[in-house]
Each structure stands twice: as C-alpha cells, then as structure tokens.
A and B are shown apart, each in its own frame.
Chain A
Amino acid sequence: MSQHHVSATVNGEPVEFLCEPQETLLDVLRDRLNLTGSKEGCGSGDCGACSVVVDGRLMCSCLMLGAEAEGRAIETIESLAQGDRLHPLQQRFLEHAALQCGFCTPGFLVAAKALLDRNPNPTESEARYWLAGNLCRCTGYDKIIRAVMDAAADLRK
C-alpha cells in the first residue's frame, strides 16, 4: 500500500504527514503528530472522546480518514489553552470538579467550545442535547453541565 502525502493546518500550524489509506484522522493525530490529547474510546463515533473541529465543524476524528485532512484546518484539545492561560471552559471544569478520570474531558471541552462558539447563551437543555454525543461514565454529567453553563456566562462578559 502506498502512503498518502497530506498537507493540513493543525492548531494553526502547517503540517505535512504521510499516512496509510485506512488510517483515521485520530490515528494520524495520535500516532504521527504526537497529539495524544484526543482519545479513542470507541472508534465508531459513539463516544466523542476524539472530538476535534475541522474547518469550523465539530467532528469525531475517528470517523474521518487522515487522507481527507488535505487542505483542512483542524483544531484539537491541545489548542484550547493559550500558553499557560486556560480557556474559561477548562477553568470551570477544574473548579466544578467536572472530571473524575479525565479521559472523556478533552472531547467534552472541544465539543463544548464548539457549542459556545455558535450559541453563546445555551439553555441547560440545549447544552445537554449538544453534548449528548460525548459519553462520560464517571460524573453523571451534573458537574459538566454546570461548568459549561458557568463558562458560557464567563465568555459573555
């Protein structure tokens, strides 16, 4: 099998990589670009732990091929904080103890940011339905929702 040569933008930086035709974007991020913040929980688009934003659209990176990233702009959890300054979502997750094991957390943060980018003032119900594609088995979602609602309020200020 010959490898594909792909040029893309990841977290604002131009990147080039070679990948096998069957490799997912998640495989490429984790194994070729060493961006292991995106997690694989299912490989079938059901858990959201691998959430990334591709050209402004929230995606499961396990459902997209690496080869399909050609020419696209991808944002991952690694771009959420600005240097050592945490994003309000990250800060609120910490303050609310909205993570226990922390494995689903990167996916939730990426998905929540995508929500707030398009709807800065979501109702609790809107937040719950938007985040229904992200599974968390530890928290029962209570503290996650509180953190997202508080971060939304911070960002509106």
Chain B
Amino acid sequence: MAYENLKVVGTRPIRPDGVDKVTGRAQFGADMTMPGQLVGKMKRSPHAHARILRIDATKALALPGVKAVVTAADFPDIPDEMAFVGEGPMNFRDLSCNCMARDKALYEGHAVAAVAATTAAIADEAVALIDIAYEVLPHVIDVEAAMAEDAPLLHPRMITQGVQPAPTKPSNIAKKMVFALGDIAQGFKDAEVIVQRKYTTKPVHQAYIEPHACIAAASSDGQAQIFSSSQGQFMIRAYVAKLLGIDISNIRVTPAEIGGGFGGKTLVYLEPVALALSKKCGRPVKMVMSREEVFKASGPTSGGAVEVKIGAKKDGTITAAEATLKYQAGAFAGSPVGPGCMAAFAMYDLKNVTITGYDVVSNRPKVAAYRAPGAPISTFGVESCIDELARKIGMDPIAFRAKNAAKNGTKAAYGPTFKDIGYVETLEAARKHPHYQQPLGKNQGRGVASGFWFNIGGESSAAVHINEDGTAVVVEGCPDIGGSRASMAMMAAEVLGLPIERVRPVIADTSSVGYSFLTGGSRVTFATGMAVTQAAEQAVVELRKRAAVTWDIPVDDIAWADGKAHPIGASAGKFPPLSLGEIALKSARTGGPIGGKAQINAQGAAPGYGTHVCDVEVDLETGHVTILRYTAVQDVGRAIHPSYVEGQIQGGVAQGIGWALNEEYIYDKDGRLENAGFLDYRVPVCSDLPMIEAVVVEVPNPRHPFGVKGVGEVPIVPPMAAVANAIYDAIGVRMPDLPISPPRLRAAIDRRAEAAE
C-alpha cells in the first residue's frame, strides 16, 4: 500500500449524492422523460413452454394511438457467440431470444411481442389485442426432473459440454464440470467420521425495489440514446449494439441512478426492445417493468440440489470433501454453478477434494447474477455439513473451522494458491466477540457459518480534473449502487490532499468516460478505485511540474503533501508551499488545464472471507423463527468509508436471512409462478430483523493503493447455514431444505415427534 497516515480514507463523510436522494430529486430509471415519448409494453407468454405458431398484430396496430409493434422478426437472427461482457459468460443468441422469444416461449412471462403507444392505457389495450397462436408443450420446472432421461427438452440441440465422450443425445444438461485435488477415495478411507447429506435451495430473486426501466430514442441518422437504470452503461451499450446490429459508436447510454441491483441488473431486458420500437416509429420509447414482470421475466438466482460428503479424523482434521451441485439455469444455459463449485470449499485447506457441477436448463426465467452468484447455494450445504461434523466430533464449530481454515499458501481446489487472505482473522474475531459468550434461553440456539467470495478487478477508466478554483472533479464509469461515489471521491481527495467537500464525483455516460466494466463482482472500490487513485496521482505529477515551472527548480525537488507543493532538498531553495488552488488558478500560464486519467485492467484482487454468528428462537407451536442477534465478521482489506462497508454487510445478511427463512419461487402444476408480488414473495421487513452488527476486519490487500479487497458479496454467503445451524442448536432439528418457512419447520418438528413416539 502506497498511502499511510490517512486523513480522508477511513472517515465517514456524507455521501456526495446524498441530498438528492433524501429529497426525491435523484433521477432513477423511470424518472426521465423525453419530448414526444411513447409508452412501451411487453406481450408475454402465459405458458411455461409453447411453440409460437403465429403472431397477429393487425388489431393492435389498428388501435388509435398505437405507433409500433415488434416481435422477434424485428431483431437480427444472430448466431451463437459467447462473450464475457456481463457478470458471466453469455451467449448473445440466447440473450436475444431471452429479450424476445424466437419460435418458442420457454417460460411463463417470456416476452413474445412489444407495443409502443401514446399512453399506458392504450399500450395495455394493444397488448391484449395481439393475437398469438401457441402449441403448448410439456414443461419441466425442477432441476432434477429436468435432468431425467425423459424430461421435456427445452433446446433440441443441447449436447452436454464437459463430458467425454460427448453424449449422442440432447438433454437439458448444458454443462458438467469437475474440480479435483488429491485422492478423494484415500481421503475418505482415512476419515474416522463422515457426514453426508443432500441440501436443496429454491430460486430467490434479488428483489431490488426499483423495477427495470429505460427510455430509448433512435434517430433517422442511426444514432441512439438510451437512459437506463443498470449496473453498467457500457454493458447496456455492448448488448444493445450486438442484439440490434448497431455500431457501438452510434449508441450513447446515460446511466440513471440505480434503485438496487445485486447482480440482477447486469443484463438487458428492456433496452433493445425499447430501441427497436423507437427505430420503428421514430419517437422515444419508455419502458418500465411492473413488479410482476420483474419476478416473472427478470432473472432470479438458481435453485439447486447440493450433495455434500465430508470426512475427518477425530482430532478434527478434514481428510476428504466431496460435493455434487445441480443448479437451475432457467431457460438458457448459464447458471452460476461454476463459481458455486469453486467457492464451495474455499474456506478450507483440503488435501483431497472433488466438486462436480451441473448446469441445467428448465422452464423458468433465465437466472441472473445475485450477490456472490452460486456461492450461497453450495456454501449452505457445506457449512451445514461442517456444523454437523463438528458436533459429531465434539468440537466447537469455530475451533473446527480454524483447525482446517484456508491460509496464505493454501492451494484451492479450483487452482490458485491463496495469498493475503484474512479468514482465520474473522474466525478469531467471531470467537472473541461478546456475542459468542452470551447465554441462551429455552428453544434458543446459536449457529456459526463462514463464506468466501473471489472479488474481481477488471477494466475501469477514470479522470480527475483540477478546477481553476482549486476544487476537483472525478469522472468514472461505474454506476453507484450503494455509495461508491463517496469512496471514489475519498480516494481522490486523499491523493490530492483536498478535503472531501472539494472533490465532486460524477458517473459519466458512455461517450464521456473510457470503457468501464460493470458494477459487479465487488470490484468498484477495488478496480475503479485504483483507476481513480492513478488518475489523481497523475494530476499530482502535473501539479508538481507546474510548481517546478513557477519556482524554476527541478520537479524532483518538489514533494506533494497536504494539498500543497513543497520544495525539498538542499538545492531546492526556500519557497513558501504552493497550494493546489494557487497552482490551479495560474494553470493557463504554466501549461494549460491540469488533470490526470487512467484506463486500466486492474489486477491483484484479493478474496474476501466472512464468519457469521446467529442466534435464533424457535416457536414450536408455529414453526416461526425469530432472529435474536446477528454478528457478521468480515475481512474487507481496508474500509474506505466504514459506514457503507457496514451497510453492505448488514444488507447482505438481511438478504441471506430472507433466503434462509422465507423467500422462494412457487410454481403451480402448469409451470406458472404463483407468488409474483411482494405480498407473497416475502422479503424481510423492518420488524423481522434485529440490529445486525457488522465487525470489520482489515487484512490489507497489498496490491491496492489503499489495501481494498471488496465487500459487497461475501455477506450473503454464510447466513443460510448460520440460521439453519442455529435452529439445530435450538431444537435439535436439522433443516437441509430452504426456505425454512414456518410450515416446513413445523412439519419437521411434527415428524420428529412422530418418530419419537
């Protein structure tokens, strides 16, 4: 780390965009309007699986006020092409077919046509008037049913990848993958205690409160403007260009404020459709999803079936660990089973490990990234199994984890050798926390679980402009989803030596800043922060040069500290320090405007670990679980703005508790989603939760100028097992299936009572 004695980093200033967001002035996706804009609405499939025989829009187009209708026929029929521009690998053809069904509708809610009209009421009426003839096909929802030999096929040409020799028959299994280390058979032979169990999780939605929204305007010279709420304006630009066959330079995407994403806004759903409508009718088209559409047509994360087997010596040494993961991808290949496999045992230093993953399609919406995609599902199984094993051996769950913990030098099953990791430090902090010693009452229990996430770097651009009055502007390209503007301004202020109030961060449109990969993978404070720091450092180099010109001494004789140029060294002469403001004011006379920029592919991201302690009380009458106390310890490298770091941890925990206790997609026998609204898809509310204590551990990442690792994803990984382990501790009932909703827990309690009789 280059910086010590920090003045701004590590403090808690008010975020630069704060006032706009507490006064209602901030412009989110649906808040923008353009002159002459139309309202776009989607026509969606009512069937889980159906061949589209005919689409007749004659009556819709005849309705006064209807200006355009588009179907798949209005989109280029693009070939299969894999690319990595969003948060995971993506086949552009699949993405196109997901935005607008071609030949077949693959899930209830799949878009099959879209309308642009002068008012929302007319657009709704027109949608109803579009006449579509379907041939309803057999469907499959569950992941293991979709893997069965006789399951209905979604894609008749899908041959499982990763199997040698390649299968001769198509199936719904898109891909198989295996990660292995050591000798698994010998490892289990060496074990004295083995626990083996199957765990299941249901698909859960990111449930950002802001539905997807955009406005798109095409002009007759081929230029396109898009204003939309997403996790990456450059992602939107790349996908829209590809899906509609437009040159990237002809598209300008302006990022709106984003009302939550958690990975769910790393894809396009509306933007290509709105632009296709706009091209057809020559007017701007605004599209906003309803909540029902968000649930039915945007990606939740996978549900999964996870089999885990772990063996250990009686002294607590794990000798072998094995897991098989089956993840639902939704209607198109691409579940997060890969990262699920890689994260599964990344908390442990294992000699013998095998992890097998299957990516499986079924008639559900295509999954999208959701906070540490894939890891929570496999980790729920692994950390539940670890808890059971620790109990069998008679070891404290933290001590058992510590004995087997991944450390610097541990080789992970997926390849890398870890360095600069802080897992043991989180275990130690959890063990020492007063929470871990607090006595428990009747039907109360305590659970522990840990989690891992990679954290990533990647491409980011930033510019720092020094203004003539001695203030600065930071320009960057990653949407601020949870306060990252504050962190960017703080890092620049630290380098420049300015107070935070004198640095203004801006998130620019795609034509005003260099390419930046999207906000995801816990990368922004690490990677974009690195770009901002380098841009600010370049500005400081220029400021020192200007002082050198002013004083007529060599630039090497000038140091930058506290926002001022200082002459150093015997030959430098005795000049009073020159402030940034003084240098900026005279910049025209010393060489012109002052600034710096950086366009980097940030390397050296370091993984994050967390350890959570959860106390619950179980109501045996109702099966209701109350979270009594929750402490989440996490190594974040360095907290730039500690309040927003804590906030990320608290928010991740709350989502994990929802995943553990309530949230699930519920389908009827026809493959239709029964709970596409916040009344029946129950996310945690204020009265469901206690205060969530975030304990920040700082084991710095030496490859970042301020030691940052990343924070946002780790905290959703441990909660499901922490809650389930706490329930076991409270009442002795092991719950391997999520969510642990009151009816499910009550049924498990009843089963135990029956078994005891």
Contact = CB atoms under 8 A, between A and B. Distances in A.
Interface in A43-82: 43-44, 46-47, 49, 76-78, 80-81
Interface in B494-521: none
B569 to A, nearest CB: 43
Do most interface residues of chain A lie in helix, strand or loop, or is the interface mixed?
A: loop
B482 A132 contact: no
B489 to A, nearest CB: 14
B260 A42 contact: no
Contacts of A146: 691
B260 A138 contact: yes
A138 B207 CA distance: 10
B259 A39 contact: yes
B24 A106 contact: yes
B134 interface: no
A6 interface: no
Contacts of B257: 101-103
B458 interface: no
Among A44, A103, A129, A139, chain B packs the most CB atoms within 10 A around the CB of A103
B683 interface: yes
B283 to A, nearest CB: 17
- Interface residue range, chain A: 35 or more
Given A102-B257, A103-B28, A136-B209, A97 B290 contact: no
Contacts of A47: 209, 291, 678
A135 to B, nearest CB: 6
B300 interface: no
A45 to B, nearest CB: 8
Contacts of A120: none
Contacts of A49: 209
Contacts of A125: 687
A38 B291 CA distance: 16
B259 A103 contact: yes
Given A128-B687, A137-B651, A142-B650, A99 B260 contact: no
Contacts of A101: 208-210, 257-261, 481-482
A38 B24 contact: yes
Given A22-B121, A41-B209, A145-B691, A77 B23 contact: yes
Contacts of B650: 139-140, 142-143
A38 to B, nearest CB: 7
Interface in A94-108: 94-97, 99-106
A83 to B, nearest CB: 11
Contacts of A7: none
Interface in B202-238: 206-211
A152 interface: no
Contacts of A30: 30-31
Contacts of A96: 643
B291 A43 contact: yes
B21 A99 contact: yes
Contacts of A127: 686
B463 interface: no
Interface string A122-157: 000101110111111111111111100000000000
A94 B208 contact: no
Contact of A100 (B206, B483, B684, B691): B483
A145 B686 CA distance: 8
A36 B31 contact: yes
B341 interface: no
B685 interface: yes
B291 A41 contact: yes
B22 A86 contact: yes
Contacts of B73: none
A97 B647 contact: yes
Contacts of B210: 39, 41, 101, 103
Interface string B256-288: 011111100000000000000000000000001
A97 B644 contact: yes
Contact of B21 (A1, A102, A129, A140): A102
25 contacts: A20-B119, A22-B121, A36-B31, A40-B30, A40-B211, A41-B209, A42-B677, A80-B22, A80-B23, A86-B22, A94-B15, A94-B19, A97-B643, A101-B261, A101-B481, A102-B21, A104-B259, A105-B22, A125-B687, A128-B686, A128-B687, A131-B687, A136-B209, A141-B654, A143-B646
Interface of A: 1, 20, 22, 30, 35-44, 46-47, 49, 76-78, 80-81, 86, 90, 93-97, 99-106, 109, 125, 127-129, 131-146
What are the 8 tightest A-B residue pairs by CB atom distance, in nearest-first order? Answer: A37-B24, A103-B259, A102-B21, A140-B654, A97-B643, A46-B678, A140-B650, A100-B482
